[in-house]
Amino acid sequence: MYLESIFIGGDIRSQLPEEAKKFDNIDRIFKKIMSETVKEPGINKCCQSDNRLTNLKNLSDGLEKCQKSLNDYLDSKRNAFPRFFFISDDELLSILGSSDPEAVQEHMIKMFDNIASLRFQVGNENETLATAMISAEGEVMEFRQATTAEGRVEDWMTTVLAEMRKTNRLITKESIFRYCETMTR
């Protein structure tokens, strides 16, 4: 049931097409077994059907392979953007399964310390841009350079992280300079 919600419909299906086909086949065979069981609900008839145990073992093995492929896929995304390790598989799947950059918003506080959200705006060429980060207290730190939030989420989130660091470093340097400037007066 867990894998069904992942592999039936959604973007994950398009990102893991081979596993989706395998899951469809497993799902079809399982539903066939269950419909036969409904027709003949007696335990002897149900369990003594030809190759029933072998079929169920094969289905179980196939589901384990689908689960392993899904875990490998999630691990590859986590390795590409390590802050994904701070969120659960379901939360990561909700981000990866959506083409909308806003899908990261509800998980930002878990991935970044005290960053509640990003500000997204539409750019001149109709692209989505991340333009600022917003703390849980509502403080806004405008990025020095807006970053494009399109394509693979792990790629643009890496770019956003780099811009966060760059902007924070520049603001810190400016504040030290301004502080020294006021102290010499």
Shared domain check, 71 and 136 = no
SS (HEC) of the chain: CHHHHHHCCCHHHHHCHHHHHHHHHHHHHHHHHHHHHHHCCCHHHHHCCCCHHHHHHHHHHHHHHHHHHHHHHHHHHHHHCHHHHHCCHHHHHHHHCCCCHHHHHHHHHHHCCCEEEEEEEECCCCCEEEEEEEECCCCEEEEEEEEECCCCHHHHHHHHHHHHHHHHHHHHHHHHHHHHHHHCC
Mean pLDDT, range 147-154, rounded to an integer: 93
How far is the C-alpha of 90 from the C-alpha of 69, rounded, in Å? Answer: 15
Last residue of a domain, one of 49, 80, 111: 80
Shared domain check, 51 and 106 = no
Shared domain check, 110 and 59 = no
How far is the C-alpha of 160 from the C-alpha of 152, rounded, in Å? Answer: 13
Shared domain check, 105 and 54 = no
Residue 170 lies in a domain: yes
Shared domain check, 177 and 113 = yes
Last residue of a domain, one of 50, 80, 110: 80
The tokens for 17 are 């097409």
Shared domain check, 172 and 105 = yes
Mean pLDDT, range 91-96, rounded to an integer: 90
Shared domain check, 49 and 113 = no
In CATH, what number is assigned to the domain containing residue 165? 3.20.180.20
Residue 39 lies in a domain: yes
Shared domain check, 34 and 109 = no
Encode pLDDT of 152-183 as tens digits.
Answer: 999 999 999 999 999 999 999 988 888 877 77
pLDDT value, residue 143: 96
Per-residue pLDDT band for 185 (boundaries 50, 70, 90) equals: low
CB 78 within 8 A of CB 70: no
Say how many domains are in the chain.
Answer: 2
Residue 93 lies in a domain: no
Residue 69 lies in a domain: yes
Shared domain check, 177 and 140 = yes
Domain that holds residue 123: 100-183
Per-residue pLDDT band for 9 (boundaries 50, 70, 90) equals: low
Residue 85 lies in a domain: no
CB 74 within 8 A of CB 31: no
Residue 88 lies in a domain: no
Least confident stretch, 2-6, 57-61, 98-102, 169-173: 2-6
pLDDT value, residue 46: 79
Name the nearest CA neighbour of 101 among 160, 54, 39, 162. Answer: 160
Shared domain check, 76 and 104 = no
Shared domain check, 169 and 110 = yes
How far is the C-alpha of 169 from the C-alpha of 167, rounded, in Å? Answer: 5
Tokens 């027709």 found at: 39
Mean pLDDT, range 123-136, rounded to an integer: 94
Encode pLDDT of 11-24 as tens digits.
Answer: 777 788 888 899 99
Mean pLDDT, range 34-60, rounded to an integer: 86
Per-residue pLDDT band for 74 (boundaries 50, 70, 90) equals: very high
pLDDT value, residue 144: 95
Least confident stretch, 3-7, 78-82, 91-95, 114-118: 3-7
Residue 54 lies in a domain: yes
Shared domain check, 107 and 154 = yes
Residue 106 lies in a domain: yes
